[in-house]
Structure 1
Amino acid sequence: MKQQNLHEIYKYITDNISAGIHAVDAQGKTVIYNAKMRELKGIHSLEEDQFEQEMIAKINDSHLYRVLKTCEPIKNYKMNFWNRVGQEIVTISDILPIKKDGELIGAVEISKDITERELMAYQPLRRYGQPLTFDIITAVSPLMAGVIERAKMAAKTRMPVLLYGESGTGKDMIAEGIHHDLNPENDHFITLICRNDEQALIDQLKQQIDKNEQVTIFCERVEYLSLEGQERILNLFKEHLESHVFIASVGKDPIDLIEKGQLSKDLYYFFASVCINVPALSDRKEDIKPFISDYFNRYRNNTGSRIQGLSAKVEQIFLDYDWPGNLKELEVLLDDITSTMTNETLIDFDMLPIYFRWKVQSEELSDTTGSMFVAENEKDIRPLNVFMNEVEEYYIQNALKMFDGNVSQTAKALGLRRQSLQYRLKKFNE
């Protein structure tokens, strides 16, 4: 078989399997980066693809680099991350050394997308190990103060409530807060995750509301049910409205969902009297620091850690970042950070997971390079060698910044000798 035909067969296979594959040679250079891996990373353009492939295996604490360095496999590594288009992704990966005749020739990361499975069973925010009342919610922003005020009023009237907003904003916290604020109290708070099997969910709903108890039912992301399924649960809600409290959530404005045929108009009317928008974290960044402070306080109490908070640099990064996954993304990130801590008292930049460091670095690059390197008119055109020198300087300076000025680590990440990088830096300053 001709080599070209064999290459096309390999490419077809790697681009049509369900796992993401990223393979590198012994020097960390990408040789395979398949369609599924690009999908997981949210890469849609050739420029993004090349940028990602060039850097990811060279960063010296990436898992591929670690396997290249140690020749030891990393198996069943689970990661939550938000990709370039703001989607929450959960993967489980094997990162394996590739050897031929006992000699290391590369490494491969094989990532299975388990997002749907994880999100079926994972609440937008983790439980605090105690009843989640409004007093526990640390939000201080005027926007969230309004949300909590409306939620408390809904609890007093025991009316059906529809919560809407982006994934991870804390809609489940508000729902449970309403439950604990009811007077008289209900016996149980039940969450039904509407990403699950539809018939099983309806059967579970029937089972809960037919009991001789008063319960609060929270249907999380009800728009994931079919319109027929939504009508069926609506009938159950109406039949048992006098006995129970019903709360539902959707991920977008309900009117937009109705227009797109994703939300039943009748179900919306059932909840229409109390619709509460839970705003994105990017619209209430003053809630970030109290949430982190509360997280570390609970972490100290549970583990005996000496951690006090974030360094000034990391705090500013957190305040500048847009948090597409909202509070859930922040909490998952803090979980990742604390899982590797020992006796630190402050979280510094080098303690952030590499995927988050690279994400904020990439955003900084994309925000600033557009105006620097795009020629919008004839006046912007300069000689090609001048342009290439500017690109090289900008790229190297940002890589150096990423490694806090450490020349050795930066040189290794860029695939340069230390002396070569020092020569370039000296040339930039001349």
Structure 2
Amino acid sequence: MKGKGELPVLPDVYKQLLDAVDVGVHVVDLEGRSIIYNKKMSEIEDMDKEDVLYKSIMEIFLFQSEEESRLLQALKHGANQKNTKQTYFNFKGQEITTVNDTFPLLDAGKRIGAVEIARDITKLEKLTREQTREKHSLFTFDQIVGESPSLLEVIERAKLATRTTSSVLIYGETGTGKELFAQSIHTGSERATGPFISQNCAALPDSLIEGMLFGSVKGAFTGATNHPGLFEQANGGTLMLDELNSLSAPLQAKLLRAIQEKSIRRIGDTKDRAIDVRIIATMNEDPMTAIAENRLREDLYYRLSVVSLVIPPLRERRDDILRLAFSFIMKFNKRFMLQVRGLSKEVAELFAHYDFPGNVRELEHVIEGAMNVMYDDEEIEYSHLPTHMRTKFPKPDQLVQVEYSTPISAIQPLHHVMEEMERTYVKKSLESFQGNITKTAEALGLSRQNLQYRVRKFNLR
């Protein structure tokens, strides 16, 4: 049952149907809270349902303002958009590109929510950006920012790898800068005058990636032409294979053969072609874990890991955060024609305590997003930061102390405890601002509507 102007509660059978469809479905209620988030949307955005359900859009995505969210525009203004592309970032700093149908949900002509139906094109979008890079556009070791001992050690190992043509395996979390190291190894080696080609192995299915890597001959399959693959295109240079562990076992076997024999055979061909290519492979998971879970052939791992580099995550080299932030400020000053000099003391302190799950890439996006909302400011202030950071780190002068303890004999289910803690925190925050909804919402990093929902939920007025 539902009241007038409210979204109905879905029976389990409908939830099962939504989880079975091959498009993402995301529904928000009148307060902008996520109330339906199906399995496909969870896969597209790489977030668990628990991270999304019953939270506001601004809490779970790196939008600078509500105007960037098409769901909120549909909810608040009735905007109806069909088959439109959108690129955005989840709270982990991961870039996502989808083609969406977004529209309001109506009951008797009154808006009661909004829905977004999404088709994932993230991999294809990245693929269009991947192409042979000219030498002048590639990174060098001098452009790697950081002085932490763990980073300097990796840089020195990578520089030693420029003296040979041995294969290199680079492991690091998403956003740590693996391709930056791969490009620097190439530009610092004798192959610098040759091509550098990068291919994300997860971007396409095996049926297409095989042809891209090894090429094809006319008549090999319907529509096939005489086409050199990336190995031939990278001849005399370097081929970077990103997300290597996403390749199927048969393709990994074929790749191993090509590396060992220094030759490839195009699809449909009868002859082998000699190649002179250095392979640099990258992975965003521990190779030993990938081997144990049968996502990476052990023999291929040992063949590629002649030189192994492990890029430390940003949280393990916090001394580099301010250096990186300043370098990104200089970069976007030129792009946006601004004159930002640095970070406020408050923001610098916040950065020092934030884990940056998206690593260097997330830090760059945060700086870029902040500078998008600046005009003549000289420093990046707390108010310029994205919502997800302000939610996690309220301003120091607006923090309230919440005391909560319970005897072991009175242990309650966790969600009850968390709800009571939330109620106490919201109540004391409101008291700190004499009940002012606008100021309290800003301090908590919430929208007015989101805070008002909690006030009603906890019967605080």
Q: TM-score range by the shorter chain?
A: 0.7 to 0.9
Number of the residue aligned with 1:414: 451
Number of the residue aligned with 1:154: 161
Cα distance in 2 for residues equivalent to 1:310 and 1:259? 44
Q: Is the 8 A contact 1:22 1:34 kept in 2?
A: no
Number of the residue aligned with 2:221: none
Number of the residue aligned with 2:409: 378
Of 418, 421, 424, the residue aligned with 1:393 is 424
Counterparts of 1:66-215 in structure 2 under 5 Å? 66-73=73-80, 76-82=85-91, 90-91=97-98, 93=100, 95-99=102-106, 103-118=110-125, 120=127, 130-183=137-190, 185-195=192-202, 196=204, 197-204=208-215, 207-210=229-232, 214-215=236-237
Number of the residue aligned with 1:232: 254
Is the counterpart of residue 222 in structure 1 residue 244 in structure 2?
Answer: yes
**Alpha-carbon distance, 1:181 to partner:** 0.5
Q: Is the 8 A contact 2:59 2:387 kept in 1?
A: no
Cα distance in 1 for residues equivalent to 2:199 and 2:304? 17
Q: Give the letter for the 1:139 counterpart.
A: G
Q: Is the 8 A contact 1:24 1:108 kept in 2?
A: no
Quick one: structure 1 residues 61 and 398, their matched pair in 2 at CA, closer, same or farther if it must change by over 3 Å?
farther
Cα distance in 2 for residues equivalent to 1:36 and 1:374? 39
More deviation, 347-356/247-256: 347-356
SS of 1:78's equivalent? Answer: strand
Q: Is the 8 A contact 1:209 1:215 kept in 2?
A: no
More deviation, 349-358/133-142: 349-358
Cα deviation, 1:75-126, whole Å, max 9, x if unaligned, reads 644212145xx97655555553344565444433444444444455567xx9
Number of the residue aligned with 2:349: 316
Cα deviation, 1:227-281, whole Å, max 9, x if unaligned, reads 2212212222233399332211122232332222222222222233311111111
SS of 2:333's equivalent? Answer: helix
Cα distance in 1 for residues equivalent to 2:85 and 2:242? 29
SS of 1:415's equivalent? Answer: helix
Number of the residue aligned with 2:319: 286
Q: Is the 8 A contact 1:91 1:111 kept in 2?
A: yes
Quick one: structure 1 residues 71 and 307, their matched pair in 2 at CA, closer, same or farther if it must change by over 3 Å?
farther
**Alpha-carbon distance, 1:20 to partner:** 2.6
Q: Is the 8 A contact 2:196 2:234 kept in 1?
A: no
Quick one: structure 1 residues 209 and 252, their matched pair in 2 at CA, closer, same or farther if it must change by over 3 Å?
same
Q: Give the letter for the 1:258 counterpart.
A: I
**Alpha-carbon distance, 1:296 to partner:** 1.5
Unaligned runs of 5+ in 1: 426-430
Cα distance in 2 for residues equivalent to 1:21 and 1:239? 49
Cα distance in 1 for residues equivalent to 2:389 and 2:135? 24
Which is helix-richer, 1 or 2?
Answer: 1
Quick one: structure 1 residues 172 and 380, their matched pair in 2 at CA, closer, same or farther if it must change by over 3 Å?
same
Cα distance in 2 for residues equivalent to 1:414 and 1:65? 16
Q: Is the 8 A contact 1:78 1:92 kept in 2?
A: no
Cα distance in 2 for residues equivalent to 1:94 and 1:340? 28
Q: Give the letter for the 1:133 counterpart.
A: T
CA RMSD of aligned residues (A): 4.6
Counterparts of 1:58-73 in structure 2 under 5 Å? 61-62=65-66, 63=69, 64-73=71-80
Q: Is the 8 A contact 1:166 1:251 kept in 2?
A: yes
Number of the residue aligned with 2:306: 273
Give TM-score scaled by structure 2 length: 0.71
Q: Is the 8 A contact 2:134 2:195 kept in 1?
A: no
**Alpha-carbon distance, 1:209 to partner:** 4.1
Number of the residue aligned with 1:428: none
SS of 1:323's equivalent? Answer: coil
Cα distance in 2 for residues equivalent to 1:90 and 1:325? 17
Number of the residue aligned with 2:328: 295
**Alpha-carbon distance, 1:190 to partner:** 1.1
Quick one: structure 1 residues 206 and 322, their matched pair in 2 at CA, closer, same or farther if it must change by over 3 Å?
farther
**Alpha-carbon distance, 1:73 to partner:** 4.6
Number of the residue aligned with 2:27: 22
Q: Is the 8 A contact 1:143 1:284 kept in 2?
A: yes
Q: Is the 8 A contact 1:60 1:66 kept in 2?
A: no
Is the counterpart of residue 52 in structure 1 residue 55 in structure 2?
Answer: yes
**Alpha-carbon distance, 1:176 to partner:** 0.3
Q: Is the 8 A contact 2:238 2:279 kept in 1?
A: yes
Cα distance in 1 for residues equivalent to 2:418 and 2:285? 44
Q: Give the letter for the 2:305 counterpart.
A: A
Cα distance in 2 for residues equivalent to 1:5 and 1:408? 28
Quick one: structure 1 residues 267 and 300, their matched pair in 2 at CA, closer, same or farther if it must change by over 3 Å?
same
Unaligned runs of 5+ in 2: 1-7, 216-226, 264-274
SS of 2:55's equivalent? Answer: helix
Identical columns (%): 27
Quick one: structure 1 residues 131 and 71, their matched pair in 2 at CA, closer, same or farther if it must change by over 3 Å?
same
Quick one: structure 1 residues 257 and 107, their matched pair in 2 at CA, closer, same or farther if it must change by over 3 Å?
closer
Counterparts of 1:307-386 in structure 2 under 5 Å? 307-358=340-391, 360=392, 373=404, 375=406, 377-378=408-409
More deviation, 273-282/248-257: 248-257
**Alpha-carbon distance, 1:138 to partner:** 0.9
Q: Is the 8 A contact 1:19 1:37 kept in 2?
A: yes
Q: Is the 8 A contact 2:97 2:122 kept in 1?
A: yes
